[in-house]
Amino acid sequence: MRLSFTKMHGSGNDFVLIDNRDQRVHLAPSQITKICDRHYGVGADGLLLMESPQNGGDLRMRYYNGNGQEAEMCGNGARCFTRYAQRILKSKQRAFSFETPAGLIRGALLGESVEVQMSEPSNYCPPAFLQIAGVTEEVHFLSIGVPHAAVFVEAVEKVDVNLHGKEIRLHEAFAPLGTNVNFIQIVATDHLRIRTYERGVEAETLACGTGAAACALLYHMHRSVLSPIWVTVQGGDTLRVSFESSPNLRNVCVCGPASFVFDGEIEIF
């Protein structure tokens, strides 16, 4: 089977996007893993399928991590999906809604940036003190379409993200599905720097949109800092996270770049 695809990235978090509105593409997890492999495939953190809507959206977005498993939502992927939708549909439309397992997501093109309205935050837990590699860590947690744990640190560059991220990701406190893991450095009152270990990729990625949103919201709850909060990711871009905080956290949006890399074809067996 020969597949046409588009490669994109959002702040260094990269994806293979495939137009599957005709429902001809049915990929096994092993095939998705092969496509995302950086040595034997296209190379990506994840894969996005564009499908026809089923429940009132403009489109349906299905996201698969590099391990081939479907996930509920991906923030950087949603920004790329928004720009991809405009291109594939040959539309002058500047905003789209698309269905995901995490609910209806809305994306809007704002010049060179894309703003995505995220899933409503849920499952917030007060900070827990967990034993991680023999050290007690204060770990914060909430879900924003997907689960995110976070640890505040003095300097993110000193953190072994792949080692400590994996330990938290697999901690029994987050069983059975595990969690994404973020390390947060406070740069200024309204500015964070983060590094993220992504569940499903099973490694650090250059950016995580849901992670940026989760970290900003947890910081708001931790320090009462108001919207917007700027979040610099490991790839170097700074994302803007905005939200309403009264009476409850809602209308969470992440704004940042989404870039085309190349179009191509790949043979899949």
What pLDDT does residue 246 have?
85
Looking up residue 187, the CATH number of its domain turns out to be 3.10.310.10
Across residues 211-233, what is the average pLDDT? 97
* 117 belongs to a structural domain: no
Strand 229-232 vs strand 191-198: parallel, antiparallel, or unpaired? parallel
* 89 belongs to a structural domain: yes
What's phi and psi for 78, nearest 5 deg? Answer: -65, -35
**pLDDT class of 92 with cuts at 50, 70, 90:** confident
* Model pLDDT for residues 232-265, shown as the tens digit of each residue: 999 999 999 999 998 889 999 999 999 999 999 9
Nearest one of 40, 49, 37 to 74, comparing CA atoms: 49
How many domains would you assign to the chain?
2
Same domain, 148 and 211: yes
Dist CA 127 CA 53 (whole Å) = 38
Nearest one of 8, 9, 6 to 207, comparing CA atoms: 9
As annotated, the active-site residues are: 74, 208
Dist CA 260 CA 6 (whole Å) = 8
Across residues 18-23, what is the average pLDDT? 97
**pLDDT class of 228 with cuts at 50, 70, 90:** very high
Dist CA 107 CA 94 (whole Å) = 8
Same domain, 27 and 146: no
Same domain, 25 and 45: yes
Q: Structural domain of residue 147, as residue ranges?
A: 122-257
Across residues 153-161, what is the average pLDDT? 97
What pTM was computed for the model? Answer: 0.94
Across residues 204-210, what is the average pLDDT? 97
* 248 belongs to a structural domain: yes
Token pair 């870039």 is found at 259
Same domain, 133 and 253: yes
* 114 belongs to a structural domain: no
* Model pLDDT for residues 23-75, shown as the tens digit of each residue: 999 999 999 999 999 999 999 999 999 999 999 999 999 999 999 999 999 99
Same domain, 84 and 147: no
What pLDDT does residue 170 have?
95
* 177 belongs to a structural domain: yes
**Residue 189: is it exposed, middle or buried by C-beta count within 10 angstroms (0-12/13-18/19+)?**
exposed
